[in-house]
Amino acid sequence: MKFFVDTADTQAISELNDLGMVDGVTTNPSLILKSGRDILEVTKEICAIVQGPVSAEVVALEAEAMIAEGRKLAEIAQNITVKLPLTWDGLKACKVLSGEGKMVNVTLCFSANQALLAAKAGATFISPFIGRLDDINLDGMELIQDIRTIYDNFGFETQILAASIRSVNHVQDAALIGADVITAPPEVIKKLATHPLTDKGLEQFMADWAKTGQKII
């Protein structure tokens, strides 16, 4: 399973990238706002750090304007993935931009039928939002499972990019279901390494080691 990091914070991206934990990056208008940076400038910087797909989102709402913005974003670097909302206009833009050979990430997906349409429109990635479904008491993971089943039933090549990941359990569940990619904030990716029994075990080993009076170096 590929790991994308869901942030426009270049320092956090670099830190995880140095560890080989970053297969791509996703951004959105809210993350650009949080970064306080110019979208073109920060996206270019991210594309220089990470070799994999970097999603940059259009903000137009009509297909023609989305296509124009998508083409401009795609000029930033070869690894740009144009991010389009799952609306009828977004699907039209997806069809055109993917037909031009550009990578497209269709975002704000909340139903299996929406995911089916994105695949038919040629999306490279579909982004179902797990956390936002959980927020309204629906089961985000059930959506990932449904999309996996539908895509496998018909051999769609669109990759399932499990998004709006809020917890380490979301990552594990998405991996078990077979999502192709997860995108998560840097804090969640770092938390995957932690376990209370690891901390407890290490504490015990350190205490016992001190009692031996030995040194390795």
Cβ neighbours of residue 163 closer than 8 Å, sequence gap 6 or more:
6, 26, 107, 127, 128, 129, 130, 182, 183
Asked whether position 52 contacts ligand E4P by CB under 6 A, the answer is: no
18: exposed, middle or buried (C-beta count within 10 Å: 0-12, 13-18, 19+)? Answer: exposed
The correct pick among 164, 173, 182, 186 for binding ligand E4P (CB under 6 A) is 164
Nearer to ligand E4P, 52 or 131 (CB): 131
Determine contact, residues 80/72, Cβ cutoff 8 Å: no
Task: Pick out residues in 108-147 that bind ligand E4P (CB under 6 A).
Answer: 127, 129, 131-132
Residue 28 engages ligand E4P in binding (rule: CB under 6 A) = yes
Amino acid (one-letter) located at 152: D
Residue of 44, 83, 92, 190 with catalytic role: 83
Told to check if 163 binds ligand E4P by CB under 6 A, we report: yes
d(CA 151, CA 159): 9
Compute the least distance from the CB of residue 132 to ligand E4P, in Å.
Answer: 5
Determine whether 34 is an active site residue: no
Q: Which is nearer to ligand E4P, 118 or 196 (CB)?
A: 118
Nearest to 15 by CA among 165, 181, 186: 186
Closer of 67 and 133 to ligand E4P (Cβ): 133
Give the DSSP letter of residue 120. H
Binding site for ligand E4P (CB under 6 A): 6, 26, 28, 107, 127, 129, 131-132, 163-164, 183
